[in-house]
Structure 1
Amino acid sequence: MAGETRRRGAALEEALLEAAWQELTDVGYARFTIEGVAARAGTSRPVIYRRWAQRADLAIAAIQHFSRYEEIAEVPDTGSFRDDLIAVLRDVSGRRSALITLFSVQMGEFFAETGSTPAELRAQFLAARQRPFGFDRVLERAIERGDVDPERLTPRVRAVPGDLLRHELLMTLRPASEQAIAEIVDEVFLPLVTKQR
């Protein structure tokens, strides 16, 4: 194919992973095929098989590829820990709803086929990230300003906003409402981590 001869190396791999991600989100893992990805990318199956031997390997690679670009562009710094946190959760909610839908609704056959769990797939997604989460940067800044008590930040407490946001996205299959985000921050997380006056 003409498209196949023009793209090589990193450019070809980028096109394949983008096509795989689009195929995965459009049809789900149950109908995710090497043939479908090849057609979408305008290339041949052998080109894909030279890089990924199984469709599960390609699916994981596509998710990891997506994770490298699915990052907040600029971490807000409003001077308010609460407002920064709400801005980060709003941003993540808007960008993560497609991923949460994929994990919860469209990847059942992947878990059955590979014997893995959503937690293991999430760990692979997180491992591909090249920068800390915006949430982590906001939290570090809040600790430096004295807005957050670091002694109260156990790993479980630190995970609370993300866990609650993920639950909201999973239950609604759409971005979280402003009210839900404010409740996560004001009613749950801030009372857990702010210094007691």
Structure 2
Amino acid sequence: MSLKTRRRGAELEDAILGAAWDVLVEHGYAGFTYEAVAARAGTSRPVLYRRWPQREDLLLAALGKGWLDQPIDLPDTGNLRDDALGLLRRINAGRARMMMTLTVQLMDYFRETGTNFRELRDTLRGQGRPIGFEILIARAVERGELPDVPRSPRVVSLPMDLLRHEMLMTLRPVPDEVMVEIVDDVWLPRL
């Protein structure tokens, strides 16, 4: 007869957040309940309520664990064009399917809270934390590839915005030639 070891601390939290992520991806926000997460994690609802008193608290924690705790490494090839294409390719390969799934799965959340993907991203990322393309541009400035001038946040984030738009419009990963066009024909000339 084996005794089941009781999970505590980080081990329990990881199990709960992993279960919460799975429930969200599989059942969407409508199926994202304390009951479903507790059952999936093999724990009780009071355990969840103690850590995350509101459903949104649990959702944000699950998104943070499932999405932001798996960062995409920034390329550092020595030139901005290759870095930008490398980052788009990594995002496309690693996150395209999940971005499309979460966009659909979170629609009820956005309706319920009156928020949007940008607000959710900013909440999860935290204000002031640089995005990947800000870092790539800063490196290019340090190398002397670009002048050190102010740039609109809209221009800086343009490659990611266009990639995301393409993913949402086609519901497929973005072809490489489209990513090259985004960088070469749209973004680099604006910088």
> Do both proteins adopt the same fold according to a TM-score greater than 0.5, normalized to the shorter chain?
yes
* Residue of structure 1 equivalent to 2:26: 26
* Residue of structure 1 equivalent to 2:158: 160
* Residue of structure 2 equivalent to 1:45: 45
Q: Tell me if the contact between 2:21 and 2:63 (Cα under 8 Å) persists in the aligned partners.
A: yes
Q: Tell me if the contact between 2:133 and 2:156 (Cα under 8 Å) persists in the aligned partners.
A: no
- Structure 1 gaps, min length 5: none
1:116-135 equivalent positions in 2, closer than 5 A: 116-127=115-126, 132-135=130-133
Q: Tell me if the contact between 2:18 and 2:62 (Cα under 8 Å) persists in the aligned partners.
A: yes
Structure 1 residue runs of 4+, over 6 Å off?
Answer: none
Percent of aligned pairs sharing the same letter: 49
- Structure 2 gaps, min length 5: none
* Residue of structure 1 equivalent to 2:63: 63
Residues 79-123 of structure 1, C-alpha deviation per residue, up to 9 Å, x if partnerless?
A: 222111100111122233244224421112112222322222121
* Residue of structure 2 equivalent to 1:115: 114
Residues 13-48 of structure 1, C-alpha deviation per residue, up to 9 Å, x if partnerless?
A: 121111111111111111211111112111111111
TM-score of the pair, normalised by structure 1: 0.85
Partner amino acid, structure 1, of 2:13: E
Partner amino acid, structure 1, of 2:151: L
Partner amino acid, structure 2, of 1:176: V
Residues 138-159 of structure 1, C-alpha deviation per residue, up to 9 Å, x if partnerless?
A: 2221111121233262222112
Partner amino acid, structure 2, of 1:85: A
Residues in 2 aligned to 1:174 and 1:6: alpha-carbon distance in whole angstroms: 42
Change (3 A) 1:156 1:142: same
Q: Tell me if the contact between 2:68 and 2:125 (Cα under 8 Å) persists in the aligned partners.
A: no
Partner amino acid, structure 1, of 2:107: G
Q: Tell me if the contact between 2:35 and 2:45 (Cα under 8 Å) persists in the aligned partners.
A: yes
Q: Tell me if the contact between 2:23 and 2:37 (Cα under 8 Å) persists in the aligned partners.
A: yes
Residues in 2 aligned to 1:147 and 1:107: alpha-carbon distance in whole angstroms: 40
Residues in 1 aligned to 2:127 and 2:66: alpha-carbon distance in whole angstroms: 9
Q: Tell me if the contact between 2:134 and 2:156 (Cα under 8 Å) persists in the aligned partners.
A: no
* Residue of structure 2 equivalent to 1:9: 9
* Residue of structure 1 equivalent to 2:95: 96
Q: Tell me if the contact between 2:76 and 2:83 (Cα under 8 Å) persists in the aligned partners.
A: yes
Matched, 1:139 2:149: no
Greater RCO structure (CA 8 Å; 6+ sep): 1
SS in 2 for 1:88: helix
Shift in Å, 1:183 = 1.0
Residues 159-190 of structure 1, C-alpha deviation per residue, up to 9 Å, x if partnerless?
A: 21111111112212232221111111011011
